[in-house]
């Protein structure tokens, strides 16, 4: 019993010494930085969290330059077996024709600025990326996909483009340029 009491006293003494050592370690810490941060928070305006501005990298457009190449969605054997010739077909564009000024820009970069009636004909005003405005009428060409103006309405210009696919050859698609809107392919 004496031995167990001595062990118990020693254990208690050891616990008390450990406790005091821990308290001594806590009293020696430097809390100056924490106190300064708290003082800054207390002095800042109430209800406004600190703002942190993160610089974002600048966006750069990348153009897809391989649109005339093989379609990545068709297997190679389907292309070689059923590929169409770019120079043949009823819908093949006339490559001997002199290109018009708006044919040097992709259709999605052209913008309809307005329409008006001149000498009994509907005329559309088209703004190009270089800042110029060109007047066009039905039958004029615009866009890099051999687009021909099919109709000019009061609020829109309907263009029929000719696009080439490896499997089906030349196809037509209708696109509408609307006033104050982006290019929208028609279904």
Does domain 105-185 fall into CATH 3.20.20.70? no
Instruction: Give the model's pLDDT for residue 183.
Output: 47
- Chain centroid to Cα 111, Å, comes to 19
pLDDT tens for each residue of the chain, 187 residues long: 667 787 888 888 888 777 776 666 555 566 778 888 888 877 776 666 667 777 878 888 888 777 777 777 776 665 555 555 666 667 777 778 888 899 899 989 999 999 998 888 899 999 999 999 999 999 999 999 889 999 999 899 999 998 888 777 888 899 999 887 554 555 4
Instruction: Give the model's pLDDT for residue 187.
Output: 44
Domain residue limits, the chain? 105-185
Strands 141-142 and 147-152 turn out to be antiparallel
Report d(CA 12, CA 50) in Å as an integer. Answer: 50
Q: Is residue 161 within 8 Å of 147, Cβ to Cβ?
A: yes
- End-to-end CA separation in angstroms for the chain: 99
101: phi then psi, degrees, rounded to nearest 5: -55, -35
Report d(CA 174, CA 187) in Å as an integer. Answer: 8
Instruction: Give the model's pLDDT for residue 87.
Output: 64
Give the torsion sign (CA, 16, 22, 24, 26): negative
Instruction: Give the model's pLDDT for residue 171.
Output: 86
């Amino acid at each position: 019993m004496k031995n167990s009491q001595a062990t118990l006293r020693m254990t208690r003494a050891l616990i008390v010494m450990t406790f005091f050592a821990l308290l001594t370690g806590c009293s020696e810490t430097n809390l100056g930085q924490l106190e300064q941060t708290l003082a800054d928070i207390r002095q800042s305006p109430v209800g406004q969290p600190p703002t942190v501005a993160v610089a974002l990298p600048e966006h750069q457009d990348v153009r897809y330059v391989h649109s005339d190449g093989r379609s990545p969605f068709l297997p190679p054997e389907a292309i070689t077996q059923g590929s169409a010739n770019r120079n043949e077909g009823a819908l093949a564009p006339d490559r001997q024709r002199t290109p018009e000024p708006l044919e040097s820009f992709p259709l999605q970069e052209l913008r309809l600025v307005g329409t008006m009636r001149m000498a009994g004909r509907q005329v559309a005003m088209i703004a190009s990326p270089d800042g110029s405005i060109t007047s066009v009428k039905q039958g004029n060409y615009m866009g890099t996909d051999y687009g021909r103006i099919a109709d000019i309405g009061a609020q829109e210009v309907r263009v029929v483009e000719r696009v080439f696919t490896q499997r089906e050859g030349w196809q037509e698609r209708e696109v509408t340029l609307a006033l104050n809107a982006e290019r929208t392919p028609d279904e």
